[in-house]
Every structure is written in structure tokens, then in C-alpha cells.
A and B are shown apart, each in its own frame.
Chain A
Amino acid sequence: MNALDSMSPISHGADWDFDLIERYDVEIGKVASEFGLDTYPNQVEIITSEQMLDAYASSGLPIGYPHWSYGKEFIRNEQAYRRGMQGLAYEIVINSSPCIAYLMEENTMATQALVIAHACYGHNSFFKGNHLFRQWTDAEAILDYLVFARRYVMECEERKGAEAVEEVLDACHALMAHGVDRYRRPAAPTLKAETARLAAREAHRERQFNDLWRTLPERNAAIRNDATECFPTEPQENILYFVEKHSPKLEPWQRELVRIVRKLAQYFDPQAQTKVMNEGWATFWHYTILNRLHEKRLVDDGFMLEMLKSHTNVIAQPAYDSKAYSGLNPYALGFALFSDLRRICERPDDEDRAWFPEIAGSDWHKTLDFAMRNFKDESFIGQYLSPRLIRDFHLFAIADHAEESELVVDSIHDERGYRRVRKLLAQQHAQDVRVPDVQVLRYERDGDRSLTLRHHRRRGRPLTEAAAQVVAHLRRLWGFAVRLETWDGETRVGDVVECAG
């Protein structure tokens, strides 16, 4: 008998109260730090189902600016909920410091504990640890920024009228997916650094000076002139940023609105890129933490049964031909990936040693922590999807090619297919599969001020009809003609979508 056995469960039954939630949180927090989870401070808010619907409409943000599309979202969710077509999430958590999690009052005590472990320790530590969140979001500042954004939008509405604001926001929302930086923009050099750089370059040139160079005939002068006329010199993938900085007609308040939408898009982007990992990580930890609580006899068997029921619901993965199928369940895939990773560390078999020689048998805490910090969905799946998981999920790849009259099974869960399936599943979570590659190609700064976008078509996949509407929205922001060209490699193909100035 060890000391743990003498502990008694924190509570019995389904009822919860505020003291109990706090006591559960203390115990869950102890286990979490036992496992080395590093988190932001937690803030838990108890809300009603109606408030949960409110939160849905604004992507969980506690403060949002008013916009009709949130109303539409609210109506859609409310109706689905009223008609019983959709349940509500147990929780919503947002990436901020303190990390805010919403708990529904209808939940039982076991569910509340599950949610605390899931959101307040799982998601929270992911937000704090994952490199995408660290690099692109500022958890400390987001709440203040939201307050600012809301106030600013409402002020604009007062001064300029709700319709004018709505027009700008509609246009920005249409381009939200193209308002995200994927690579750090270098900070503008300070005057001192810039002077030093110029001086160094000058010194270098002086050292290399040779009067002979002057006597060479000047080649490519014409080409270089062309190049200087082309603006931007490189295609720009952040269209909203380009609009904000270069739009010839935007008024300052409109520019600020573009910026607000762009900032929010940037804030949400890591969540879209880490859906599987994020949910998988949180699910893995609520499962692990609550099992540990059970081991410590802090929760009773009834609690565990209820927790397991919720847990298995969450990680169910219906087959592709089932009625319940609605895509790969990120909870299921993510949970399986992290659990499997732990298994590979703790109980590797020969296959694992062959596939993952560097982690088979290693310390699972460290391995999981490394995986959580340094990957996104695409690379995480590409790195860690094991043959065993491919078999467990019966994953198979379908090729849908335009010139084929039928679909072809590309590969399945067999020896020849493992790597191919893994690669394809990873690609499926890649950025360029989710969002078409549309970039700003040219801005006729000295001409008619028109803006040309380039859709870089890959593998013949066209844009939807909605592209014309997006171009019309962009035209509204830009103020002059906007063109959308489609390029396949170096050749232009298809019709140009144009919205005249």
C-alpha cells in the first residue's frame, strides 16, 4: 500500500459548484506540472448555452466588432442547435494570456474537469509552446487589441455610417485568407544601421575599385529599366498588407480597418495550421491527466466512465462511406498521433525501430514536447504518422485526375503505400491545398494605377466562380481597376477576371 491509496475522491456525482471546480483545478494543475506542462495563467468563465452560441459566432473571441456575418453565423448555429442537429461544444478556449476558457453550466462535474484538463492545460500549453503561436501571436496583447478594434470599428460606424464600414469589412473578410504573413518581414532598418550598411558597402566598393569596369559596354540596360518600373519587384502574397500600405485611395480610417482584419487573420492563422496537433495535444493530455487522477484515487469510477464516454465520442472516426463521416476528425487523428508517439517511445517494436530510429525508446516527455513545439500539421503528420496508425485508420489515398474518367485508388495501407499515404495526408494539411496561391503581381504606379493579381495555378486546379466577387471586393478597397490573371508555370492561361476602375 502506498500513500496514494489513502486519498479519497474529490467529489461524487454530477453536481458541480465553484469550490469543487477550484479543487479539481488544483489537482489537475498538480498533475500537469508533474508532466511538465508549461501554461499561461488560466481564467475560467462559466456561461450558459445561449452565451456559448454567442461565443461561436465570434470564433470564441470575448470581444468582437459588430458585423452582419457574425449574425448569420449565430443564426445558423442557433437553428442547428434548436433543431437538435448539432450539439454544443463543451468548451471554447482562446489563445490569450490569461488563457480564457468557457465552460457551459449544463456540464456535469466530470465534464467540467475534462474540459479544464483539455482546455486550461492542454490547449493552453500548446498555445504557449508551439512555435507558430510564439512567432505570430501575442497572447498578452490580444485582449487589449480586441477592445481597441471593437471601439475603433464602432467609432468609425458613428462617424462614417454603418454601411460604409460594412463595405470595407466585407471586402477585407473576402481577402482574409490572403492577409496573412507566412514569413517574418524584416524589421525596417534603423537610420544608424542603414548608414552603417551603406558605409560598409561603399568601403567594399572602394576596395574592389578598378577603373577597367567603367570601360565595359553597358549591357541589359533596357531590361534593368523595365525591372525598376515593375512594382512590386517581387510578387506579394499578403494582399491585405499590400492594400493597406499601397492602396492609392483608402482613407486613413479605412486603412486602419484593413489592418484590424489583417491582424485578426494573422492571429487565427496558427490555429488553422495546427488544428490536428492542437486538438490532438489537448485530447492526449485530458486523457492522460484524468487517468492519472484516477490512479491517485482522486476521482471515482463513475467519473472515469463518464469521462471515457465523452472521450470516445470526441475521438470517433467514422469510415469514409459512413453517414456520420465529415472528413478526418482532427481530434481522432491528433490523439492517435500523440498516443502513438508515446507508445513508440515506451514500447517500440521492430517496425518502429526501422521507421523512427531516433525516437524509438527515447523519453516520451521530451519527444512529445519537442513535437508539440516545433511542428505544424503538415510537417507533424509528415514526420510522425506511423505505419501502424495508417493501418489502424485504414487510410487510403484516392487520385482524382482531370483526364481520368474514374477515380483511381492511389495507395492503401500496405508496405508500398505507407510512405505515399503519409506524404499525401501531410500535403492535404498544407497551406497551398487549403488556400489558392493568389498574389499581387503588378501595381501600375505610374500608369492607370490598376492592380494585377496572379493566381498561380497548380496541377490544373481552377478557382471557383466566387473569384469574380472577391475581385470586385478588392476593387472597392483599391479604388482602381483590378485584374486577376491565372498562370500555369510561366504561361498565362484562362480568362482574366477584371473589374474596371
Chain B
Amino acid sequence: MLHLIDRRPSSRGRSAVNRERFLRRYKSHIQDAVKKMVGERSLADMERGGEVRVPKKDISEPSFGFGRGGDREFVLPGNREFVAGDRIERPQGGAGGGGNGNAGEGDSEDAFVFSLSREEFMQIFFDDLELPNLARTEFGRTEQKKSVRAGFAKTGVPANLAIVRTLRQSLARRIALGGSLARELLALEAEFAVAVAVGEAQRAADIYEQLERITRRRGDLPFIDEPDLRYRNRVWRPEPIARAVMFCLMDVSASMDEEKKDLAKRFFTLLYLFLTRKYGEVDLVFIRHTDDAEEVDEQTFFHDTRSGGTVVFSALDLADKIRAERYARGWNVYVAQASDGDAFGADPARSARFLREKLLPATRYYAYLELAPPHSGDHPSSLWAEYERVAEATDNLAMRRASERDQIYPVFRELFRKESQ
């Protein structure tokens, strides 16, 4: 007797929990691998999954087993040329695959390699990171309202009339009110027919009058009456603002050499990946500047080269203009600026003032990454010094310095560490 069960619809991914445990156990390995991948990869394919190698010795499950050495015999199939007593040179890497356990280990390598899915890669990549202040915004500011359906109402504007619902009401009312009249009519009609047949003219006339009256009353029932009307009801519900716009400002002046640009590009790539993954609705504005600023598309921003002087103010000014123009209401504004801080003359002071007075109040968070040349020590730029004063007065400006490629990721993590509020 066969008991047949279709298991296909159920319990998919039963091993998911085990896989997750495996990943957790080797988290440090995986994080190292991810860090390395971030350092090595070109920007374009940052978003792929990746291969992780864990040394076999770290992953093995030890048990007592036989090592090499000692005496043993083993039986193999497929003898063609040997006779008893033949001597064979010992093959490299142990004595063939004896019939038992050893055979399965033929593929031994020095590492257990497995691939992370894109999801898992990003998960580890952005582990514990959260856009700063966004949570607070969600509950703090409810500026935006959204119109949502809320059933039907008895009052409303004609444009919102729900015709089907109204007719249903009307039908119900007509059935309810007209039912007894209809029954009366039927009875009277029968009586009328009898009266006519019997020839009682007077009685027939009376009944006919009654019939007339009732038919009129029935006709008086309105097809649509005031109480039938139903209107589609919409209410305004306050909607948290989860939309964000990220301004990416980058200095592409002559003092930004290829290496610094590369660092900046990495910083923005990380931001970009982070934003597009974490928040459904994120606008990105790319502004690059030399002595004047321009808004460019992403491709140009990352891949086009240009040179000239440095006027930071131009970029800040343009960013503020775009913000006022396009993102004035209902957006969380974030600005990330990458520069070597190599600004001259009045520009740093002017930029800092503009930042403090105009841009920062309208911004949720402002991240400034200063790309110091390697081995520059702790000698901050003029722009850094000016910004530092601004940062002391406000809490939504963060500043970091980085000089090496592999410092980018930690910097990024630090800037956007999940707020422990």
C-alpha cells in the first residue's frame, strides 16, 4: 500500500537555516573577503555577489582517521597488465585511491570556496549601516500627506459618486418599500378580475380605483433617492517621508590626482550602492566642480575627467539651488562631499559660511570626506579647518579623512553607523 505525498509546495529551503548558520560561523572570514573584494573590484561590478574562500583547516570537521604510513593492502578493479609480485612506483600524493574512504578526498584543495549571492554580499557589506537621522525623520516630520481610500461616505462631491454602490442602495430600497405594494396589487388584480367576471360593476370600479392609487404610489417611489447616494471616500493620511535625495559633490580639479579621484569614486560608489539598496525612493544628484560647478549624470561623474582650479563654493551654491528648485518639500536631503580641501583665498571661509547658513539647515546630514595624500600626516587643509568650526556648532556635519584605498570602507562605515537611539 503506497502513501503518496506531494511535498513540492511545502518546506522549500529547509537548509536555509543551516546555510545561515554556516555563514554566521564564518562571518569573520566572509567579512574579510568582502572587504578585500571592495578594495579590488572596479566600481562597475561592485554589486555582484562574490566568492569567499575559507581555508580548509578552519572549516574541516575533524575525526580520527588514518594518516599516511604503515602497512596496508587494497583491492582495485581493472587490472590489465600486472601479475603478482610486480613492483610499481609509488604514485605522487599517496597511494592511489584505496577502495575505502580515501577516494572521496581526491579533490582536496587548500580552501573551501563558495559564492555569496548578491543579497548576502550586500547584507554583509552594509551590515549595521543606516542612513543617519532617517528614522527620526520618519516619525518626527510628517509634512507629507497621502490620499488613501477609506470606504464609502454618504456625502461627497458629484465627481466622487460611486454609481454601482448607489444603484445597489437604490435597488435595495425599492425592493424594501415596493414589496408590500406589489403584493397588494396582485391581490387586487385578482379581486378585480373576479368582480368583473361576476359582474359586480360597482365593486369592480372601487377596486379599480384602489388599483390606480396603489400603482400611482408605486410609481412615486423614486428611482434614486437622496439616501441612496454613496460617494467614494478618500482621506488624507499623514505619510512619513522615506524619500531621500543624495547630493554627491566631488572636486575634480587639477590638485585631485588620479589616486584621490579613485578614492572619491569609491566613496560615492559605496554611498550609491547603499542608498539604492536601502531606500526605495532615492534621488541622486551628481555635482562635480573645478572652479565652477556643473550637474552631470552618473556616468560622467564617475568616468569623465576634467581639470581646472578649485572653488568649493560653486558646488555648494549649485547644490542649494537644485535643492530649492526640485527638492524643497518632502525630501530628506543628504549631501556627501569629497575633496582634497585644496581651496585658496576666501573660498574656504565663504564655503563654510554658506554651509552653515544655507545648506546645513536644509540638510539632514552632510558628510565630508577629505582625501589626504598618503603620508601627509595630520596636517589638515584650510577647508578642513573651516569646516571643523562649523561642525562644532552643528550635529549634522560629519568629517573624515582617508588616504588609502582600504580606508574607504571603514570611513564609510563610521560615517553611517546605525544610530543607537
Query: Within residues 18 to 33 of chain A, which ones have a CB less than 8 A from any CB in chain B?
Result: 18, 21-22, 25-26, 29
Cβ of B64 under 8 Å from chain A: yes
Contact of A402 among B6, B13, B70 (CB under 8 A): B70
Query: Within residues 56 to 94 of chain B, which ones have a CB less than 8 A from any CB in chain A?
Result: 59-80, 82-90
- B15 CB → nearest A CB, Å: 4
**Measured CA separation A291–B70 after assembly (Å):** 48
Find out whether the CB atom of B79 lies under 8 angstroms from the CB atom of A396: yes
Find out whether the CB atom of A170 lies under 8 angstroms from the CB atom of B67: no
Find out whether the CB atom of A320 lies under 8 angstroms from the CB atom of B96: yes
Cβ of B106 under 8 Å from chain A: yes
- A84 CB → nearest B CB, Å: 15
* Stretch of A255-263, A279-287, A405-413 with 4 or more beta carbons under 8 angstroms from chain B: A405-413
Find out whether the CB atom of A54 lies under 8 angstroms from the CB atom of B100: no
In the complex, which residue of chain B has the Cβ closest to the Cβ of A326? B103
Find out whether the CB atom of A320 lies under 8 angstroms from the CB atom of B84: no
- A424 CB → nearest B CB, Å: 5
B contact residues around A458 at 8 Å (CB): 70
Find out whether the CB atom of A407 lies under 8 angstroms from the CB atom of B95: yes
* Stretch of B16-24, B168-176, B352-360 with 4 or more beta carbons under 8 angstroms from chain A: B16-24
Chain A interface SS verdict (over half): mixed
**Measured CA separation A274–B134 after assembly (Å):** 62
| Of listed A98, A320, A427, A465, residue having the most chain B CB within 10 A | A320
Contact of A462 among B66, B80, B98 (CB under 8 A): B66
Find out whether the CB atom of A51 lies under 8 angstroms from the CB atom of B12: yes
**Measured CA separation A310–B165 after assembly (Å):** 64
Cβ of A72 under 8 Å from chain B: yes
- A255 CB → nearest B CB, Å: 21
B contact residues around A70 at 8 Å (CB): 15, 18
Assuming the A-B contacts A410-B73, A428-B74, are A68 and B62 also in contact, with contact meaning beta carbons closer than 8 angstroms in the complex? no
B contact residues around A18 at 8 Å (CB): 4, 6
Find out whether the CB atom of B100 lies under 8 angstroms from the CB atom of A469: no
Assuming the A-B contacts A421-B75, A425-B75, are A79 and B7 also in contact, with contact meaning beta carbons closer than 8 angstroms in the complex? no
**Measured CA separation A438–B62 after assembly (Å):** 14
A contact residues around B82 at 8 Å (CB): 396, 409, 412
- A196 CB → nearest B CB, Å: 42
Assuming the A-B contacts A48-B8, A395-B76, A400-B72, are A176 and B84 also in contact, with contact meaning beta carbons closer than 8 angstroms in the complex? no
Cβ of B375 under 8 Å from chain A: no
Which A residues lie at the B interface, using CB under 8 A? 18, 21-22, 25-26, 29, 41-48, 50-51, 53-54, 57-58, 66-72, 74-76, 79, 98, 102, 105, 120, 162, 166, 170, 173-178, 317-322, 325-328, 393-402, 405-414, 416-417, 421, 424-425, 427-429, 433-436, 438, 455, 457-467, 469-470, 473
13 cross-chain CB contacts under 8 A? A43-B3, A44-B4, A68-B25, A75-B22, A98-B3, A176-B63, A394-B77, A397-B75, A398-B75, A399-B72, A407-B95, A409-B87, A434-B100
Q: A-B pairs with the 4 shortest C-beta distances?
A: A319-B78, A71-B22, A461-B70, A460-B70
Which B residues lie at the A interface, using CB under 8 A? 1-8, 11-15, 17-25, 59-80, 82-90, 95-101, 103-104, 106, 112, 114-115
> Given known contacts A399-B72, A429-B100, what 4 new A-B pairs fall within 8 Å (CB)?
A67-B18, A98-B3, A393-B77, A428-B73
